[in-house]
Amino acid sequence: MSDYDKPSRHRAVPSGRISRLAGFGRLAGGVAGSMLGEGAKRLAAGERPKLNELVLTPANAKRLADRLAHLRGAAMKLGQMISMDAGDLLPPELSDILASLRDRANFMPPKQLDKVLAEEWGKDWRKQFRRFEPRPIAAASIGQVHRALTRNGELLAIKVQYPGVAQSIDSDVDNVATLLKISGLLPKELDIGPLLDAAKEQLHEEADYRREGEQMDLYRARLASEPSFVVPELHEGLTRDRVLAMSFVDGIPIESLESEPQNLRNDVFETMMRLVTRELFEFGVMQTDPNFANFRYQRETGKVVLLDFGATRAIAPAVQKAYRALLEAGLAGDKDGIRSEAISAGFMSPAVIERHPERVDRMIDIIVGEMNQDSPFDFGDRSFVPLLREEGMAIAQDRATWHLPPAETLFVQRKVSGTALLGARLKAVVNVRAVVAEALASTA
């Protein structure tokens, strides 16, 4: 029995403001109870635990993942973002639990699904299809996907948005931010307002299925002559505000290639890397959600299938310029230049350099040493990650240096980092320097 065949995966989405607020209340109460119990246990053992140690327990991470998976929408999306963006910095057991949010969404029971489709297509919506598979082939944070066959014989993928998700985005983001603040994990001095505003903006865009259809069509046009990719075709006649209809494109999960021959894994991942550089420096537009579920692979054609364009956004010229300058300094092995450009781009604050110059220099040495070799880089060799984590966590203990990069930069970096995680999953071996140098030269 597949995961999607299990009845326990059916769980109605809380669509009202009160029911969603109650969900956050139960989560906060459960976390607080766990903190009290864990704190008492450690005090009895003669320890003096810190607040963040009581919050960041595996039990609380599982509690968080379970509740976000139930709420779905912006709440779950933020949990996914945390798992992708901070995966290497979180303790492994916490990272693994939060990572489960990437593919563990519950899906709507049939009655709730029928209600949504009736509101979008009319009560007789089934008459448009020879077959509409009631069990979704995928379920994520904002919607679930069904396979359907039209009366005209078109095989489609139909993405159906969860009820109440679009209306709950602002309150969900605010509620998650409140949980972070009361947990003591964020210092009061850190202004996360601009980041929350940007998150709300992007999530509203992701909930706009008509916009996503337009972005999908634009990507089809950009990659029309590119033999390495397949992009589904929009079915405008069936697309609505909460329903996105497109051609069904088959493929296997891209991460399943980890058991394939090394050459295939290398080629596929290099193709993905080159797409990211084209998005950044040529298109000026990037699909910023690197969730593995958004990419599949076709054995028969050797092509990568690109899915989910809700997180597509334009890249500001200033951000393009900042990445170009940073990469050029990296290729030149200019450590002073890397430090300077990292500050200019907003990746780090001047306070970090002033207070922790030796640690910053060691991190730069590690990155330059690993990534700037004119030879294949083994993404499966993560031996340098603990070294970076050790230096990064030591700096993070100094809250006076905490700093949030500009939101636009964070969205781009999320795609870059997520792509690197795919390389690690596939244990790909690629000449990073050659790919980057070619991208910079071709778009100079």
Q: Which residues are catalytic?
A: 289
Rounded Cα distance between 69 and 202, Å, is 20
Rounded Cα distance between 182 and 443, Å, is 46
Query: Residue 69 is which amino acid?
Result: A
Rounded Cα distance between 231 and 138, Å, is 17
Helix, strand, or coil here: 248? coil
> Both tokens of residue 371?
């990534």
SS (H, E, C) 69-114: HHHCHHHHHHHHHHHHHCCCCCCHHHHHHHHHHHCCCCECCHHHHH
What is each CA distance from 152 to 156, 239, 247, 330, 334, in whole angstroms? Answer: 11, 16, 13, 54, 60
Rounded Cα distance between 75 and 231, Å, is 28
> Both tokens of residue 51?
């607040």
> Both tokens of residue 243?
């329903």
> Both tokens of residue 283?
């298109």
Task: Let me know: does 258 contact 265? Beta carbons within 8 Å.
Answer: yes
Strand (E) or helix (H) holding 387: helix 385-396
Rounded Cα distance between 413 and 409, Å, is 6
Half-sphere exposure of 321 (CA within 13 A, CB side): 4
Rounded Cα distance between 291 and 282, Å, is 22
Which of 242, 237, 236, 234 has its CA nearest to residue 307? 234
> Both tokens of residue 342?
């990292």
Rounded Cα distance between 233 and 224, Å, is 12
Give residue for tokens 């790919």: 435
